[in-house]
Amino acid sequence: MRVLHICSGNLYGGIESIQLTFAGLRHECPEIEPEYSVCFEGRLSRDLKASGVPVHNLGSVRVRNPISVWKARARLRKLLSESRYDAAICYSTWTQAIFGPVTQAADVPLLFWLQDQPSGHHWLERWASRTRPEKVICCSEFTRSLLWKLYPGIPSDVIYAPVPPIVKESVNSSQRIAIRKELQTPAEAVVIVQVSRMEAWKGHRFHLNALAMMRDIPNWVCWFVGGAQRPAEERYLEELKQSAEQYGIADRLRFLGQRTDVRELMLSADVFCQPNMGPEPFGVVFVEALSAGLPIVTTATGGGLEIVDSTCGLLIPANDVTALATAVRRLVLDNELRTRMSKAGPDRARALCDPTRQVRRLASVIESVFIQRGAA
């Protein structure tokens, strides 16, 4: 089956890591031949090309510029007329709204991957909802529970993100020390790490407030991994740095920006903390942290409830900074608890997101669309 993955390409986060993982694991499911389309050149398009999959550039699109939309649609229309695809998958309401109608007009089976929590009110969701896919793939049971707000009555399946395992031995003790030295972090420190985009709902400020309550505990350092990708995020980052100075903990924090060595950083840390202020649709980074053997602290909302249990992490009530500080403090001080949860993490990650199983599940879901079409 030849499948076109329709992506935007202007940002890089969990959705993009899923797209790249499917590209890299195509040998695990040779019956699927993936190709990709993007509108913006960037990290995603570079990494996709490096993996060896075909990447088609549809041209930059700005919704406020109707001509750019028309040109990109024309390029997709030409691609679909010249190449035979057995299915196409849109990964966001943005791509669904702009390219879904073209795909349907070409009579290519259209699937939509729901990676977010729809409200049913946003103008982009209303635009996307005018093009109803033949099936929706939901990234979690949580997002599936909200599907009715966008596509009531459309068949759906849940596919967890394929997450390649992180081999703990890929970073030995001397490399771990070297990474910590590079980041001005003592070898014996307990390192707390958060890996996420610089968006307020990811809970950085909440995290800082909890760390400020732990000033009395020596020997911890926190790494914030993830750079600002938009002007609002740059302002948010500056606010976080200012808050760290005001709290008197700036010397114990490292704002590392965008990194390509996230796995190595996780393997050099001790605790993963991401206290989301709103529900995470799924949380690929949580699975990556478990695979790296990191105990997790996060809020008991959204997809995190499907990933983190008592064997591998601590769930706290949303917006409860005292509970957050207590949970992080507990893991920083209790080496035995950290070790026990660390050992449970990789098995939990495999059980949820084994890449081979998830790629084959995707193939099965696409095949179900053909069966549905044939029965109609």
**What's the confidence (pLDDT) of residue 25?**
85
pLDDT confidence bin for 15, thresholds 50/70/90: confident
Name beta bridge partners: 313: 296
Counting Cβ atoms within 10 Å, is residue 188 exposed (0-12), middle (13-18) or buried (19+)? exposed
pLDDT confidence bin for 311, thresholds 50/70/90: very high
pLDDT-above-90 percentage for the chain: 84
Evaluate if pTM is beyond 0.85: yes
pLDDT for residue 31 is more than 90? no
pLDDT-above-70 percentage for the chain: 99
**What's the confidence (pLDDT) of residue 213?**
97
Domains of the chain: 2-162+354-375 (3.40.50.2000), 168-353 (3.40.50.2000)
**What's the confidence (pLDDT) of residue 375?**
56
Q: What DSSP string describes 268-305?
A: T-SEEEE--SS--SS-HHHHHHHHTT--EEEES-TTHH
- What is the chain's mean pLDDT, rounded? 94
Average pLDDT over residues 210-219: 96
The amino acid at 312: C
Contacts of 291 (CB under 8 A, 6+ apart): 163, 165, 166, 345, 346, 349, 350
pLDDT for residue 22 is more than 90? no
pLDDT for residue 8 is more than 60? yes
**What's the confidence (pLDDT) of residue 344?**
97
Taken in order 120, 121, 125, 128, the sign of the CA dihedral is: positive
The amino acid at 153: G
CA distances from 16 to 19, 35, 79, 227, 292 (A): 5, 14, 22, 15, 20
Average pLDDT over residues 33-41: 94
**What's the confidence (pLDDT) of residue 87?**
94
**Model pLDDT for residues 283-299, shown as the tens digit of each residue:** 999 999 999 999 999 99
Average pLDDT over residues 194-214: 96
Question: Is the pLDDT higher at 121 or at 376?
Answer: 121
**Model pLDDT for residues 62-107, shown as the tens digit of each residue:** 999 999 999 999 999 999 999 999 999 999 999 999 999 999 999 9
**What's the confidence (pLDDT) of residue 286?**
96
pLDDT confidence bin for 160, thresholds 50/70/90: very high
**What's the confidence (pLDDT) of residue 373?**
75
**What's the confidence (pLDDT) of residue 12?**
80
Question: Is the pLDDT higher at 28 or at 47?
Answer: 47
To which H or E segment does residue 208 belong? helix 204-212
311 within 8 A of 348, measured Cβ to Cβ: yes
**What's the confidence (pLDDT) of residue 374?**
64
**What's the confidence (pLDDT) of residue 200?**
93
